[in-house]
Chains A and B, each alone.
Chain A
Amino acid sequence: MTQLIDKPPAKELPNEQLIELLRKMMLIRRFETKAAEMYAKQKIAGFLHLYNGEEAVAVGAISALNDDDQLLTHYRDHGHALARGVEPGRIMAELFGKETGVSGGRGGSMHLFDTEKSFMGGYAIVCGHLPLACGLALANQRLKNGRIVICFFGDGAVNEGEFHESLNLAAVWKLPVIFMCENNFYGMGTDIRRVSAVIEIYKRAAAYAMPSKQVDGMNVLEMYGETLKAAERVRAGEGPSFLEAICFRYRGHSMADPEAYRDRGQTERWRELDPIITFRKTLTEDGVIDEGAFQTLEAEVEDIVNEAVRFAEESPVPQLEELYTHVYKEDS
């Protein structure tokens, strides 16, 4: 059901909520760095895609929504799960392939699910989840439950046929969905300029008569504010909205990516816009936090992440006799 507390505009956010935005970004950063370590140490296998650098997008956007608004995302999904409040220990346990993982060890890094948090999953076929977002929005529309859907995807998704099919259907049926494109300029290792005829992705939404806007994805408050505005329109039944968050991932596409396709200086320049450093600076200048408070937050996220690793380490591996469980829902 719709959350009762209205979300205040960005500039009216109370201090504790501002600190919470910072804390969540710090948690994601620390979690992802730890995940990289655990991958290097072979505790985590498969593909591991990290969100370092893009924290403001997930934290800003998701904080602007109600907790029961459904969220779907791509395979770089830890940040969105953490921003939505999915338990870090159960995420780490999933990465470790443990029974206690959010997906019971069946999904791994790319397929986190926590429906109790309306976190409807990480999807690993590029653009394959946009149609699902339309369907969830259709259900909300018909059930008149006041919920909206947010769907995160990367710049790599916008040249898939399903992107256009989904935007068209959402627009023609006025579905309550926010399409949130995280434009970090690289689809895996390919520069967007080399493969996209129109690189200002938000302009593509115009083809479907959909309100759209480019947003600073390195600025958590801007992400919060613009998402909030989009959500209000969508929730009011005016149809879908489209946001293009300009951002940058610091690490390679996955752990296996040596980043031969881009020069290091580019990453260093983006690091100067680091969403955590800049937001901390803003909050410090505004007197919301001081050095001590920041140290406390650091220690706090450090503990949470260490605890998540401990939980994952100590959790049992899935039972082999459960191999066939959940292929189908058994008839009740």
Chain B
Amino acid sequence: MISEVVMPQMGADMEEGTIIKWLKNEGDKVDRGEIIAEIETDKANVEIEAFDGGVFRRTLAGEGDTVDVGTIIAIIADAGDDLSAYENGATKQAATPAQKAPSEPAKKPAPKAAGKEPAKAIAQPAPASSDGRVRASPVARRLAQEHSVDLTAISGTGPDGRIVKRDVEAAMAGSTPAQTSPAAGATTTIEMSKMRQTIARRMSQSKREAPHYYITVDIDMTEAERLRRQLNDAVEDYPRVSVNDMIVRAAAISLARHLMFNSLFVDEQVQQHSDINVCIAIALDEGLIAPAILDTANKTLGEIADASRDLAGRAKSGALKPAEYTGGTFTVSNVGMFGVEGLIAIIQPPQTAILGVGGVRTTPVVRDGRIETADLMKTALSADHRVTDGAQGAQFLNEIRRLLESPASLLV
């Protein structure tokens, strides 16, 4: 009988062993249970015994050799047994272990097998849209919203037909006329600040949801400038008044007469407000903020000047009150100080109008058939067409112009 001596498994975690010493020479007689070798595992040195008796015919691994568990290292056999099968190659793997890992993982009966009786059927996946809801991942929904992609118009390629990010991206690519070639040179991805993200989201929403119309007019600021200088130079204890303060004052008076422009658009509804809170856009290092001067209509020009300075200071130090963040009903955005001609602004939702203001520039004008110079200021009203129309916009903006061109009324 041929008995293969293998590198034995001597513990569940043993993978290989080293032969330290053979205690039998080829040709020696061996009894069952006799110690035939010493081996070393990664835990300890152990002796191995013969599981069958016979003649120790051949060693297939030498002292010092390290072999895998299960490798044949010697042959015990009867004297006459034919060992030619073992002549080629010093060692070979013995029979495959009985307890090899299953080739396929077992199927778990159901997600709720943990709790449910096994007999219960697997819960059916929800129909693609159980109640008309679109099956889309949260990131796909966000992306679609940001880029005005209609989720009902695209089909999903995710599990169970779920619309995933790549589907929205594909839809976006399909609606873009031509792929622009990537710019040469290095590209830097700039992480957006919280404020930048907020601006991005709100402005996208405004341009997506609010149909803007625009009315522009040049306002002659000659008289307003004169009044401003008088106030600042001649009147003691009067706050320093800026052009912008006068514009805000004019806008507040005009809003009181054209309340439709003092409306918010919320949940498909127009909410017209009697309180007039004009926001002023303030540029900060990290972006733009437009807090409100609360109750603007009931403030004098001087009070507006004070409030405006206070607001700018607190905006920079981050000390604005919640109502100043959220309570605005109209906005004035003035880029005049940068020496540019004009600004066509985007409405701040849920407000429904905004006045963009450029710089005051001395410009030739024709007056009574003569060419004169005047200090003109370009203004542009952006308004939400869902709430007001162009004719109303024109009247509203003309009122502002009238007030600024006859500025004494601003002091009333």
Chain A interface (Cβ < 8 Å from any Cβ of B): 33, 37, 39-47, 96-97, 254-256, 258, 260, 313, 317, 320-321, 323-325, 328, 330-331
Contacts and interface: CB of A to CB of B under 8 A. Distances in A.
Contacts of A42: 9, 69-70, 94, 97-99
B11 A41 contact: no
- Residue from the set A46, A256, A325, A328 with the largest chain B CB neighbour count within 10 Å: A256
Given A45-B12, A256-B11, A330 B119 contact: yes
B119 to A, nearest CB: 7
Nearest to A313: B98
Contacts of B33: 33
Given A33-B33, A258-B46, A260-B44, A43 B98 contact: yes
B50 to A, nearest CB: 10
B104 A320 contact: yes
Given A317-B102, A323-B106, A325-B118, 11 more contacts: A37-B51, A40-B6, A41-B9, A42-B97, A44-B99, A256-B13, A258-B41, A260-B44, A320-B107, A328-B118, A330-B117
Given A41-B94, A255-B10, A256-B11, A321 B99 contact: no
A97 B100 CA distance: 10
Contacts of A317: 99, 102
A256 B44 CA distance: 9
A77 B252 CA distance: 94
Given A320-B106, A321-B107, A324-B108, A40 B12 contact: no
21 contacts: A40-B8, A40-B9, A40-B48, A40-B51, A41-B94, A42-B99, A44-B98, A97-B99, A255-B11, A256-B11, A256-B13, A256-B43, A258-B44, A258-B45, A313-B98, A320-B104, A320-B105, A321-B107, A323-B108, A324-B108, A330-B117
Please tell me the size bucket of the interface on B.
Answer: 20 to 34
Given A96-B99, A256-B14, A324 B46 contact: no
A306 to B, nearest CB: 12
Interface of B: 6, 8-14, 33, 41, 43-46, 48, 51, 69-70, 94-95, 97-99, 102, 104-109, 113, 117-119
Contacts, number: 78
Nearest to A260: B44
A46 B97 CA distance: 13
A39 B45 CA distance: 17
A47 B51 contact: no
A96 B106 CA distance: 19
Give 5 nearest A-B pairs by CB, closest first: A256-B11, A40-B8, A258-B44, A42-B97, A320-B106
A330 B97 contact: no
B99 A324 contact: no
A313 B109 CA distance: 29
Given A40-B9, A46-B12, A97-B99, A258 B106 contact: no
Contact of B12 (A47, A320, A321, A328): A47
A39 B9 contact: yes
A258 B108 CA distance: 40
B12 A258 contact: no
Interface of chain A: mostly helix, strand, loop or mixed: loop
A194 to B, nearest CB: 20
A298 B44 CA distance: 34
Contacts of A256: 10-14, 43
Contacts of B104: 320
A42 B9 CA distance: 6
Contact of A96 (B11, B41, B98, B118): B98
A256 B13 CA distance: 9
A323 B102 CA distance: 12
Contact of A41 (B6, B106, B117): B6
Nearest to A264: B47
B113 A324 contact: yes
Contact of A45 (B99, B107, B117): B99
A40 B46 CA distance: 12
Contacts of B109: 324
Contacts of A254: 11
Contacts of B118: 324-325, 328, 330
Contacts of B41: 258
Contacts of B113: 324
Contacts of A331: 117
A310 B46 CA distance: 28
Q: Which of the listed residues A39, A42, A258, A325 has the most CB atoms from chain B within 10 Å of its own CB? A: A42
Nearest to A258: B44
A236 to B, nearest CB: 45
A258 B117 contact: no
B38 to A, nearest CB: 11
B288 to A, nearest CB: 61
Nearest to A39: B9
A309 to B, nearest CB: 11
A239 B117 CA distance: 42
Given A40-B9, A40-B10, A258-B44, A321 B106 contact: yes
